[in-house]
Amino acid sequence: AQSVSQHNHHVILSEAASLELGCNYSYGGTVNLFWYVQYPGQHLQLLLKYFSGDPLVKGIKGFEAEFIKSKFSFNLRKPSVQWSDTAEYFCAVKTSSASKIIFGSGTRLSIRP
């Protein structure tokens, strides 16, 4: 069965620090990849997505993610975080043969002002 692993449950950073959140998936075929963000008290919002083409994907609010097929990874990055980036981040995978999205367990990001 397909699965998504997010390595860090809780990450604490200071403002202006660089961020990288790990995500690995298990599926050998074609995938669509997503990062969703859930700010405190708000619903899940799409941060960025990868379908095909350039493996480096840019999303909203300065986030980007890189798809490395050989490593089955889709890590999320931001060069300089802000206090407003405090949220929970979910990596998700959709295979070409299914309609459902499979989510990782999430990474809670806390930013010290």
Partner 1 sequence: DTGVSQDPRHKITKRGQNVTFRCDPISEHNRLYWYRQTLGQGPEFLTYFQNEAQLEKSRLLSDRFSAERPKGSFSTLEIQRTEQGDSAMYLCASTPSVTGARETQYFGPGTRLLVL
Closest distance to partner 1 from the beta carbon of 89 (Å): 10
Closest distance to partner 1 from the beta carbon of 113 (Å): 25
Binding residues with partner 1: total (CB under 8 A): 25
| 104 binds partner 1 per the rule CB under 8 A | yes
| 56 binds partner 1 per the rule CB under 8 A | no
Give the integer Cα–Cα distance in Å for 13 and 10: 10
| 51 binds partner 1 per the rule CB under 8 A | yes
| 44 binds partner 1 per the rule CB under 8 A | yes
| Tokens 């075929």 found at | 29
Of the candidates 64, 87, 85, 75, the one whose C-alpha atom is nearest the C-alpha of residue 10 is 87
Q: According to CB under 8 A, which one of 8, 32, 73, 86 is a site residue for partner 1?
A: 32
Helix (H, G, I), strand (E, B) or coil at 15: coil
Other CB atoms within a 10 A radius of the CB of residue 36 amount to: 21
Report residue 84 as tokens. Answer: 């407003």
Q: According to CB under 8 A, which one of 25, 27, 34, 74 is a site residue for partner 1?
A: 34
69 exposure class (CB count in 10 Å sphere: 0-12, 13-18, 19+): exposed
Please give the residue ranges that form the binding site for partner 1 (CB under 8 A): 4, 9, 32, 34, 36, 42-46, 49, 51, 90, 92, 94, 96, 98-106
